[in-house]
Chain A
Amino acid sequence: MTERQYIIIVGAGKVGWNLARELIDKGNEVTVIESNRERYLTVEQELEHNVQYGDASELWVLERAGISRADMVIAVTGDDEDNMLICQVAKEKYLVSRIIARVNNPRNREHFDLLGIKPVVSATDLILRLIEHEVPEYGLVHLLDLPEQRLEIIEMELPANSRAAGTRVGDLSMPEGSLLISVLREGTGFVPNAETVLQSGDEILAVLDPRVEEDLTAYFGPDGSASS
């Protein structure tokens, strides 16, 4: 970050405390709000005036922390309801331009969506994503999802019997609405040109409309006759 931002973090658990440390180190002004007295006293020994005691679902606590001049509010308590409502008032009442909310229970995610709270961070989803990245059998990794803009970037490893292996990029007939943007081969990434010939084991990056994702994975996937 180039500019010094004022950031309010709600919840001084492991996530909130460490975020505060990092953001202060990077030169930002940070206030952490913690509602548990004991936890507050512990964290206060290190963060001193950067932590305030109070229940941030009460508006006056947010106001005391100076929410109206905050550039960002990050709600990372262990309570999804708190995180949702703190972000909702931050955004709609105090017009904070950037909010980030933590989702503890993935089943609550749709409630965050309904209230227009985004982006959200869910540890469960992050771990799932890591598993997708680490387990190649899974095949497909989402690197970027912009569902509202109908855009995503995926990474996919071409299987041994990929029907696209041995094909010139110029001869590919990828689904309408998708574009090959990069190839990773033996640890090196490059932007392919029409003459590039794809090989099994290549990891390809493609940008696409999420609606053609299935067509795309089928296109680069194993040859139908050769696989189960």
Chain B
Amino acid sequence: MFVLIVGAGRVGSSVARNMLAEGHEVSCLDEDPESHARLEIGLDKPWEDLGGHFTVGTALELDALMAAGIERADVFVASTDGDNTNIIIAQLAKRRFNVPKVIVRILDPYRAKWYAEQGLNTICPTRVAIDMLEHEIRDTAERGTSGAPPAGAVDHEDADL
């Protein structure tokens, strides 16, 4: 599959590397040229040599999205650090470019919920954090204050770089 990831921050770059390793064609668009270095963390060859694509550009510019290959994307991931940008480009990908699968990261849980109801495939890390924290507290309340790590806590070795 051709996967286009807009926003190669910690989340976007990790997903990009892992998808490339799994044999997918991966293209990243980021406005910061330095993000290219983040893509190569832990790799023994340059990103391009491994078959990855990287485009510097602003996500809202159609030219940049097209240069990054949006017209042939099977999956579109909106993972910039701005909720507003993500929500808009996800709708562009869906309505204008008819990308079959569009996934959008929205940090604001309230808006994530509403846009999910409108048919956007949303991932809300804040919601996940809230649920995990609440789970831990409830778990502690039920079991007393014993120190066993709760299910779902992040193992350090799996943590994103």
A interface residues (Cβ-Cβ under 8 A, vs B):
57-60, 79-82, 84-85, 89, 92-93, 107-108, 110-111, 114-115
Contacts and interface: CB of A to CB of B under 8 A. Distances in A.
A146 B91 CA distance: 25
A194 B114 CA distance: 59
B132 interface: no
Nearest to A79: B84
Task: Provide the main secondary structure of the chain A interface.
Answer: helix
A81 B88 CA distance: 7
Contact of B84 (A57, A59, A107, A110): A57
16 contacts: A57-B108, A58-B111, A59-B111, A60-B110, A80-B60, A81-B82, A81-B84, A81-B85, A84-B84, A84-B88, A93-B114, A107-B61, A110-B62, A111-B88, A114-B92, A115-B91
Interface in B50-88: 60-62, 82-85, 87-88
Contacts of A58: 108, 110-111
Contacts of B91: 114-115
Interface string B96-118: 10000000000010110010001
Contacts of A57: 83-84, 108, 111
A80 B82 CA distance: 13
Contacts of B110: 58-60
A93 B111 CA distance: 10
Contacts of B61: 107
| CB-CB nearest 8 A-B residue pairs | A81-B84, A59-B110, A85-B84, A81-B88, A114-B96, A114-B95, A93-B114, A57-B84
Most buried by B among A59, A60, A81: A81
B86 to A, nearest CB: 10
Contact of A115 (B60, B62, B83, B88): B88
Contacts of B96: 114
A210 to B, nearest CB: 23
Nearest to B84: A81
Nearest to A107: B61
A108 B60 contact: yes
A97 to B, nearest CB: 19
Contacts of B88: 81, 84-85, 111, 115
Contacts of B87: 85
B40 to A, nearest CB: 30
B114 A111 contact: no
A10 B46 CA distance: 46
A122 to B, nearest CB: 16
A108 B83 CA distance: 17
Contacts of A114: 91-92, 95-96
Most buried by A among B87, B96, B114, B118: B87
Contacts of B118: 92
B7 to A, nearest CB: 14
Contacts of A80: 60
Contact of B60 (A59, A89, A93, A111): A111
A111 B83 contact: no
A58 B114 CA distance: 12
A108 B96 CA distance: 14
Contacts of B83: 57
A59 B117 CA distance: 15
A47 B91 CA distance: 36
A45 B85 CA distance: 33
A126 to B, nearest CB: 22
